[in-house]
Amino acid sequence: MKIRIQFITFMAALFSFSSVASITVTDSLGEHQLDSHPKRIVALNWDLAEQLLELGVTPVGVPNIKDYTTWVVKPTIPESVQDLGTRAEPNMQKLAELKPDLILAASPQKDLIPRLRTIAPVLYYQTYNADQDSAKAAIENFRNIAAVVDKSDIAEQKLNAMDQRFADLKAQLETAFNGEMPSVAAMRFANQTSIYLYASNSTTDYVIHQLGLTTALPQPAKEWGIVQKRITDLQHIKDGYVIYFGPFTDAQKDQLHKSMLWKAMPFVRNGHVNEAKSVWNYGGAMSMQYIAESITESLLEIKQ
């Protein structure tokens, strides 16, 4: 009888430990079971790396770190993070050598998931899609990733702080524009003759409205939230403002400022145009705060 009681006690303890250690997590494909909260995580897309870093979790590997520092900029990637090649074709051997507990993947790596699963469990998070609101998806993915790494409390603190930051920046703009908030076209240059405008489902368009601004040239929802247009389409912006995101080299600026077409634009003649600091317009939840800060700073520079 004593042996039987000990065995039952052991099995109960074993079952209790198993139920505590195993966790249910959610990604864009549904619910999954993990043995525990992972410690060594590879993030194969920049928005996923950003989400982890904002939660205070340093991934062991991220692709194309050099370009991340140019285009994404914030948050900074620590030097300890290993570079895994490109986002579309990460170095599988190097990835395996990192012995990750978990791999985070996004749409550029979706076709690689079967191979990735031979190395470690994979969670897939899709933020950018023509059929969904990218801002809502970024926030949902932030919360889901936070649950994976046991940082849900930090995620909520960050999201609440971001909402407050939006309100503060909006107040600054209302003061600068005397309550008459402008319409704004946020864009990037594709080249000297074409541009990328941000669509209605983009995180950038979401930010514009959070700041109390209106979109000067509204665009329908698109994958990645961008629409390529000819630069001549900007002539329709009469009284609005144009904010273009960097990086933009001095040589590119010189060439642009010499363009007769550019100088003829109404917003250029009105002095309603300015560069905005580099931010990643296809990032995670917190990237929206950086977009808001970049747009606000650029508009306030115009009003000085």
Q: How far apart are CA 114 and CA 149, in angstroms?
A: 23
More confident residue, 292 or 223: 292
Domain ranges (residues) in the chain? 21-126, 172-303
Q: How far apart are CA 86 and CA 300, in angstroms?
A: 37
Cβ–Cβ < 8 Å for 33, 19? no
Same fold, 21-126 and 172-303: yes
pLDDT at residue 270, rounded to an integer = 94
**CATH fold of 21-126:** Rossmann fold (3.40.50)
CATH class of 172-303: alpha beta
Question: Measuring CA to CA, which residue among 127, 91, 79 is closest to residue 287?
Answer: 127
Average pLDDT over residues 134-157: 97
Cβ–Cβ < 8 Å for 186, 204? yes
145 confidence band (pLDDT: 50, 70, 90): very high
pLDDT at residue 17, rounded to an integer = 43
Average pLDDT over residues 220-230: 93
247 confidence band (pLDDT: 50, 70, 90): confident
